[in-house]
Amino acid sequence: MRVAVVGAGITGAAAAWALARDGHDVRILEQFELDHGRGSSHGRSRIFRLAYTEPHWVRLAREALAAWRALERETGETLLELDGLLELAPTELDSSRETLDACGVAWEPAKPERYGIAAPDGWSALLQPEAGIVRADAARRVFLRGIRVETGVRVESLDDVDAEVVVVAAGPWARRLLAGTGIDLAVTETRETIAYFRHEPAVAAVVDRDAHGHLKYALRDHVHGLKAGTHMSGAPADPDEPAGPDEATVSAIARWVAERFPSLDPQPVAAETCFYTRTADESFVLERHGRIVVASPCSGHGFKFAPVVGRRIVELSTTASG
Ligand SMILES: Cc1cc2nc3c(=O)[nH]c(=O)nc-3n(C[C@H](O)[C@H](O)[C@H](O)COP(=O)(O)OP(=O)(O)OC[C@H]3O[C@@H](n4cnc5c(N)ncnc54)[C@H](O)[C@@H]3O)c2cc1C
């Protein structure tokens, strides 16, 4: 089958890899160069975790873990660094421990100070050992191996794309592109800010969460040491209008980082932006309309699932549309 994938972010790359493996004739159309920083997939690391409070995400993350490991074996690349996630929450009820128990996922009560981390008195702290980071850039490049990518090609109308199936993996540009064909993608694009600090964390990832999800997070970065951000703090924005990091958000991240990592220099060494394409309940949109397959797995937590999302896109692409 001749498949065109719009977008060479992690979703388009994973989809193309899976489609090519099944023998399909696939090409990616990408509007920028491969390592551009204007979408959602750039950078060196993303959190990988099984620690969710909803069992379906835990199951999907487990499936993804097996798929990442299979990809590593096949390509000889190290893509996951799993030396643990420290999850902090005001109460045990806010933490993921009950769901992890129900799903049979290992975790242990943790002492944050053992990792040089300070948490408020009385907070719940758990270590989920099978968690850490995905090497984001490396993962994207591995998926693109052997794939035909046409860079500098911006698809203005899906009607003009010559293919039997068109996978729209266009991140924060997807909603407007799909609107041209009458498909309503219910997402909001927000420009998020992250900051980097010179600090080698003793655990790969740290998150503060409450009953509703993640609030703040920090993870290992192989250039600066630590990358940190505030989940869903960005304002709605247009990805075609570039803008720099939000200064107030950088200051808020620096304050949180100073509180959690008392030994670190709280002066950020770098900051950047990254787009979230958010649904109201943080779910993903994976659906087919005629020859168009819509793939919008973001809401700020989609990277870790890329290999399983790639497989789902193959299933959608090869199943006759209703
Ligand atoms: C700050 C931040 C932190 C995150 N942290 C985590 C984390 O810790 N763990 C995790 O699992 N996930 C995380 N995520 C989410 C994850 O990064 C995203 O789910 C994922 O990168 C989405 O990738 P994508 O390929 O769907 O979109 P994108 O990366 O945006 O890719 C879309 C691509 O399509 C191209 N394109 C768009 N329109 C066109 C067109 N018309 N013609 C041609 N090309 C086009 C774009 O140029 C772009 O390259 C985070 C995201 C952000 C922003």
Q: Give the closest residue to 309 by CA, choosing from 12, 55, 40.
A: 12
- Residue closest via CA to ligand 1's atom 50 equals 300
CB atoms within 10 A of CB 270: 15
Q: Give the closest residue to 237 by CA, choosing from 201, 183, 273.
A: 273
What gap in Å lies between CA 124 and CA 133, rounded to an integer?
22
pLDDT at 164: 98
pLDDT at 4: 98
Domains of the chain: 2-318 (3.30.9.10)
Residues with CB under 6 A from ligand 1: 6-12, 29-32, 39-41, 46-47, 154-155, 169-173, 177, 192, 194, 229, 274-276, 297-298, 300-304
pTM of the model: 0.97
Q: Is the Cβ–Cβ distance between 66 and 20 less than 8 Å?
A: no
pLDDT at 321: 65
- Residue closest via CA to ligand 1's atom 27 equals 171
pLDDT at 306: 98
pLDDT at 298: 87
Residue ranges of the chain with pLDDT lower than 70? 321-322
pLDDT at 210: 83
**In the beta sheet, which residues pair with residue 294?**
168, 287
